[in-house]
Amino acid sequence: MTKTYTPPSLIDRLRADYFPTKLNGAVTLIFAALVAWALWNLINWGILHATFSAANKENCGHGADGACWAVIDARWRLILFGLYPFEEQWRSAIACIAIVITGGLSCVPWFWSGRRITTLWLTGFAIFFVLMRGGMFGLTPVFEQNWGGLSLTIFIFASTTLLGMPLAIVFALLRRSELPWIARTMGLIIDTIRSLPLLSIMFTFAIVLPFVLPGWMIGDKLYRVIVGYSLFFACYQAEIIRGGMQALPAGQEEAAKALGMGYWHRIGYIVLPQAFRNALPPTINQLVITFKETSLVVIIGFFEILASGNAAYGNAEWNFAHVEVYCFVGFLYFIFVFALSRYGAHLERRMAVAER
pLDDT tens, position by position, 185-243: 999 999 999 999 998 998 899 888 888 888 777 778 888 999 999 999 999 999 999 99
Query: 304 lies in a domain?
Result: yes
Query: 5 lies in a domain?
Result: no
* Per-residue confidence (pLDDT) for residue 355, from 0 to 100: 55
Question: Span 144-149, mean pLDDT?
Answer: 83
Query: 26 lies in a domain?
Result: no
In the chain, the number of structural domains is: 1
Residue 4 has pLDDT above 80, yes or no: no
Spatial separation of the C-alpha atoms in residues 280 and 285, rounded to whole Å: 9
Q: What is the CATH number of the domain that holds 273?
A: 1.10.3720.10
Type of residue numbered 328: F
C-beta neighbour count of 178 within 10 angstroms: 6
Query: 239 lies in a domain?
Result: yes
Question: What is the percent of the chain where pLDDT is above 90?
Answer: 19
44-101 pLDDT tens trace:
888 888 888 878 777 776 667 788 888 888 888 888 888 888 888 899 889 888 888 8
Domain hosting residue 267, numbered range: 143-353
Query: 174 lies in a domain?
Result: yes
Query: 137 lies in a domain?
Result: no
C-beta neighbour count of 191 within 10 angstroms: 11
Query: 270 lies in a domain?
Result: yes
* Per-residue confidence (pLDDT) for residue 38, from 0 to 100: 94
Question: Span 254-271, mean pLDDT?
Answer: 84
Cα–Cα–Cα angle for 67, 70, 72, nearest 5°?
100
* Per-residue confidence (pLDDT) for residue 37, from 0 to 100: 94
Query: 78 lies in a domain?
Result: no
